[in-house]
Amino acid sequence: QVQLQESGPGLVRPSQTLSLTCTVSGAFVNSGGHYWTWIRQRPGEGLESIGYIRFGTTHLNPALKSRVIISVDPSKNLFSLDLTSVTAADTAVYYCARGVTDHTSGWSWFDPWGPGTLVIVSS
């Protein structure tokens, strides 16, 4: 059973860097069959894809691309999100998830998800 768990500070000061990790159990982050993704949800709003990493290559939401770094640490079996120069608009619940791809059809979906972690940007 694959499980993901986000961790990181719940409070970040404006202009600082938000750093989160997602620890994976039941699967290997350096396995070729999956990709690893971050999603966020601002309070009371919908879901926004931040980006994902696959085979060491990242694919980032253009709206956030200049501020986002996603990386993988196979030695700890986790992947990370760094979001720089945060503002109050970055206050959200951040989710990590495994991306699954059917290599025959190209279909892809996110499953499972971590429980999420709330990050508040405030001074």
**Residue ranges that bind another protein, judged by CB under 8 A:** 37, 46-49, 51-52, 59-63, 95, 102, 105-116
> Which of 12/51 has CB closer to another protein?
51
Closest approach of Cβ 116 to another protein, in Å?
A: 5
Question: Side by side, which strands form the sheet with 68-73?
Answer: 3-7, 18-25, 78-83, 68-73
**Phi, psi at residue 16, to the nearest 5°?**
-85, -175
Q: Which of 32, 18, 34 lies closest to 110 in space, CA to CA?
A: 34
> Which of 102/103 has CB closer to another protein?
102
**Phi, psi at residue 3, to the nearest 5°?**
-135, 145
Contact 50, 64 (CB under 8 A): yes
> Which of 16/54 has CB closer to another protein?
54
- Which residue intervals of 3-122 are DSSP H helices? none
Closest approach of Cβ 75 to another protein, in Å?
A: 26
Closest approach of Cβ 107 to another protein, in Å?
A: 4
> Which of 51/78 has CB closer to another protein?
51
Closest approach of Cβ 72 to another protein, in Å?
A: 18
